Structure 1
Amino acid sequence: MNPTVEPIATAIGSADISRATPDDIVDVLDILDEAARWLASRGINQWPTDGFPRDLVAGDIARGEVYIARRDRRAVGTFTLQWGDELFWPGAIEAAGYIHRIAVRRDAHGLGIELIKFAERATAATGRKILRLDCFSGNDVLCAYYERAGFVRRADIEIEPGDDATVPKSTGRFFARQYEKSVH
């Protein structure tokens, strides 16, 4: 599989984004794990600090849902884009894109918004008019970030930590905030 590479301009300079291949799994997991540790260091218990589930990420890569951004061939960011999400958006009937696990390395600050914009374009290219995401409702900084990026808060829902392998079991009750944005 030879993924198409698309250059994007970012706050950190030019980066290339492509679908991740199985050879990229170590880089994707490393970025996710770095982000999880950083969140935990700030007292935000949102992602597992003992490592993201390799099987989950490998499955997403195999389905072509994971993207990776590189700057000078170094992996600096990742996200997952899916076409359904019954766990965090139960009963949603509109065709939409669902972005998950947006993460960037600490030295790639500013790249996240460009990853979101890429996901918006990819979603719109399929004819879908909505991009959705969810995040830990207790992460006020991240919620404000998504709102500044044009996402509109729809609801807070409770997720059982055991239902999603990326939710730390130690959180007890986990409330996710649903956001969506129109894309064209």
Structure 2
Amino acid sequence: MSGAAPEAPEAGAVRIDEATRADLPAIVGILARETMFGVRDSADPADLPDYERAFDAIAADPRATLYVARLDGRVVGTFQLVFFRALLRHGTLLAHAEAVQVDPEMRGRGVGRAMMDFAIAEARRRGAGSLQLASNKQRLDAHRFYERAGFEKRLDGFKIDLSGH
């Protein structure tokens, strides 16, 4: 260690950090603002224990990490990376990005690009053979963004809702 203090990020620079419990209200606030498919998340403080339990489970799982994007110290985006081993491709390690969300007021400022650049670099650093994500077919702006970030649209996904909601 050199003993030098870490450099402060430049004003206006997006910084990606591992999320902390203190970030939860901001993260949930971003998730709750995504209402394209109805209200699925809630920023109501009464619901925070649900998110705290989920955060604790994610934090305890060595295969999963929840991240936040900060702009001038404020949480403006979030995503989760999950790594898992598959038998295909000779047992390759795969990475999956989940719950990729940017505060709607901050879109177009490079936040999403910084998050995806970080996710790609982290997947490479950990030795993943690929990084994949799923995006609802109706989110055409998101699809264009992911393609500009280097992702190829090559999969058809299928989903069944088991929550009973």
Fold shared by both chains (TM-score > 0.5): yes
3-state secondary structure, aligned to 2:124:
helix
Alignment of 1:110-121 (within 5 A): 110-121=110-121
2:32 matched to which residue of 1?
Answer: 33
Which of the two has greater strand per residue? 1
**Structure label with greater radius of gyration:** 2
TM-score normalised by length of structure 2: 0.73
Corresponding residue of 1:48: 40
1:1-184 to structure 2, matched below 5 A, reads 13-34=12-33, 36-37=34-35, 40=36, 45=37, 48-50=40-42, 54=51, 55-63=53-61, 65-84=65-84, 94-109=92-107, 110-162=110-162, 169=165
The verdict on how the C-alpha distance between 1:146 and 1:105 changes in structure 2, with shifts beyond 3 A counting, is same
| SS state at 1:13 partner | coil
SS at match of 2:93: coil
Q: Distance in 1 between matches of 2:140 and 2:112?
A: 17
Q: Unpaired segments of 5 or more residues in structure 1?
A: 170-184
Deviation at 1:13, TM superposition (A): 2.1
Name the % identity. Answer: 24
Shift of the 95–19 alpha-carbon distance from structure 1 to 2, 3 Å rule, reads same
TM (normalized to structure 1)? 0.66
Q: Matched residue of 1:138: which SS?
A: coil
- Checking the alignment, whether the CA contact within 8 Å between 1:46 and 1:136 is kept in structure 2 is no
TM-superposed deviation, 1:75: 1.0
Task: Quote how far apart the aligned CAs of 1:100 are.
Answer: 0.8
Separation in 2 of the partners of 1:82 and 1:151? 17
Structure 1 residues 71 and 141: CA distance shift in structure 2, 3 A: closer
Tell me how far apart the structure 2 counterparts of residues 13 and 58 of structure 1 sit (CA, whole Å).
Answer: 31
Q: 1:119 to 1:154 in 2, by over 3 A?
A: same
In 1: Cα distance, 2:23 partner to 2:144 partner: 31
Q: CA deviation at 1:71?
A: 1.9
What secondary structure does 2:154 align onto? strand
Aligned amino acid, residue 48 of structure 1: R
Q: Give yes or no for contact 1:77–1:112 (8 Å, CA) kept in 2.
A: yes
The Cα shift of 1:125 comes to 0.7
Aligned residues: 149
CA contact (8 A) 2:76 2:103 kept: yes
Structure 1 position 148, deviation (Å)? 2.1
Change (3 A) 1:113 1:8: farther
